[in-house]
């Protein structure tokens, strides 16, 4: 028996931590299943949406929440994995269409898993989670474009969130001048402790603005979307780029083509859910070298599985900063 955070729809939506056993785990129809003792999971924005039923994230019922998980393989039908291997999962529809990792045990497809770098414990891996792994994918996208080799300021929006906090820390460690945008003025010291040089009010970006504005940013990592993303694009210097990975403000894009055709600005979409394995391995390898573990600890709060529902509610109320690790064992 093990505990799992189970979401059910009928007759009404419920989210509850309860005891289940291995018969509750999914069967992989094409084989390749790997059973993992999950040591730690985490709460991402998508987990918060699912647990609070704020958005139709879940598409199969009953569901175990938890997009991310890290732990040790206990049984494997997949040739790449054997008992004792330390693994991490991010995305692949886990917690949406496939029972997830906010549980003491999970059964996932071996193709989804990445070997956990020796540099990280399972707790540290979940302090990173999909949010931190996405931040690294954004950095890699900006590097490939060449936007981070130009010098100048780099903007991070939604900076006190999971993606934003890790993005600030990564960019500062790599030597970039980072401006952090947040709606929480009280968190300025926190953001500067991560390496931000300047902190601005998100209100400077969140309302409708001119299609072309004063050039400021060499590059942007945006986890907010909507007007914030549009204004960021309008302020990017000639030839710069924006890595877009979130929609905390909204999924609309009320923009014009002017920044793209007059300044050569590139809008780089970054997906973490279905990213190919090679991209995942590259991101985790870079995280192992580029993320200061001391800063990682400073952005992390840990809770037990029994407290995950309440913490998800706080996350959706905007009362959480950084990353939340969930101890599942």
Report pLDDT digits (tens) over 58-98.
999 999 999 999 999 999 999 999 999 999 999 999 999 99
CB 156 within 8 A of CB 174: no
Query: Domain check: are 14 and 103 in the same one?
Result: yes
- pLDDT band at residue 159 under the 50/70/90 scheme: very high
Is 292 within a domain?
Answer: no
Q: Is residue 117 pLDDT above 90, yes or no?
A: yes
- Cα→Cα distances 291→7, 46, 158, 206, Å: 34, 23, 19, 29
Give the residue among 213, 253, 256 at the shortest CA–CA distance from 236.
Answer: 213
Same domain, 75 and 183: no
CATH number, residue 57: 3.90.180.10
Specify the pLDDT at position 303: 97
Q: How confident is the model at residue 298 (pLDDT cuts 50, 70, 90)?
A: confident
Query: How many percent of the chain have pLDDT more than 90?
Result: 91
- Looking at residue 294, its pLDDT comes to 85
Instruction: Please indicate, yes or no, whether residues 45 and 172 belong to a single structural domain of this protein.
Output: no
Residue 183: what are its φ and ψ, rounded to 5°? Answer: -90, 5
13 found inside a domain: yes
Give percent of the chain with pLDDT exceeding 70.
100
> Token pair for residue 244?
């877009």
Of 269, 289, 318, the one marking the end of a domain is 269
Q: Establish if 317 belongs to a structural domain.
A: yes
Is residue 287 in a domain? no
Q: Is the pLDDT of residue 178 over 90?
A: yes
Same domain? 240 vs 320:
no
Q: Give pLDDT, residue 19.
A: 97
pLDDT at 73: 98
* Domain membership flag for residue 125: no
Residues 29 and 109 in one domain: yes
Please check whether residue 290 lies inside any domain of the structure. no
Asked whether residue 184 falls in the same domain as residue 107, the answer is no
106, 19: one domain: yes
Domain, as residue range, for 316: 2-116+299-327
Could you tell me the CATH number of the domain that includes residue 261? 3.40.50.720
pLDDT band at 295 (very low <50, low <70, confident <90, very high): confident
Same domain flag for 112 and 138: no
Number of separate domains in the chain: 2
- Cα separation, 45 vs 64, in Å, equals 16
Judge if 19 and 42 occupy the same domain: yes
In a shared domain, residues 32 and 145: no
Same domain flag for 135 and 102? no
Indicate whether 321 pLDDT > 90. no
Whether residue 167 is contained in a domain is answered as yes
Are 42 and 162 found together in one domain?
Answer: no
Q: Is position 240 within any domain?
A: yes
pLDDT exceeds cutoff 90 at 189: yes
- pLDDT per residue as tens digits for the range 222-254: 999 999 999 999 999 999 999 999 998 999 999
């Amino acid at each position: 028996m093990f505990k799992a955070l189970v979401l059910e729809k009928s007759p009404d939506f419920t989210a509850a931590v309860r005891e289940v056993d291995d018969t509750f785990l999914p069967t992989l129809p094409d084989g390749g299943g790997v059973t993992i003792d999950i040591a730690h999971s985490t709460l991402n924005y998508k987990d918060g949406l699912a647990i609070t039923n704020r958005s139709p994230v879940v598409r199969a019922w009953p569901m175990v929440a938890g997009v991310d998980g890290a732990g040790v393989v206990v049984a494997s039908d997949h040739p790449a994995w054997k008992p004792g291997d330390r693994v991490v999962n991010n995305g692949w529809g886990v917690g949406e269409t496939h029972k997830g990792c906010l549980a003491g045990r999970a059964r996932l497809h071996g193709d989804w898993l990445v070997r956990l770098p020796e540099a990280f414990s399972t707790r540290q891996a979940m302090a990173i989670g999909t949010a931190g792994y996405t931040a690294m994918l954004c950095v890699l996208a900006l590097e490939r474009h060449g936007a981070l080799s130009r010098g100048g300021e780099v903007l991070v929006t939604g900076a006190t969130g999971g993606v934003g906090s890790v993005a600030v820390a990564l960019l500062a460690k790599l030597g970039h001048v980072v401006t952090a945008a947040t709606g929480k003025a009280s968190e300025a010291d926190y953001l500067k402790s991560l390496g931000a040089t300047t902190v601005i009010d998100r209100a400077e970006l969140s309302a409708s603005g001119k299609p072309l504005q004063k050039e400021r940013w060499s590059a942007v990592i945006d986890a907010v979307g909507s007007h914030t993303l549009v204004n960021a694009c309008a302020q990017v210097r000639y030839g710069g780029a924006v890595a877009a990975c979130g929609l905390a403000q909204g999924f609309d894009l009320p923009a014009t083509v002017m920044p793209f055709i007059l300044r050569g600005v590139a809008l780089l979409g970054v997906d973490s859910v279905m990213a190919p394995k090679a991209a995942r391995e590259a991101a985790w390898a870079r995280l192992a070298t580029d993320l200061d573990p001391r800063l990682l600890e400073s952005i992390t709060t840990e809770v037990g599985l029994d407290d995950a529902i309440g913490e998800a509610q706080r996350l959706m109320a905007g009362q959480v900063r950084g990353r939340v690790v969930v101890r599942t064992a």
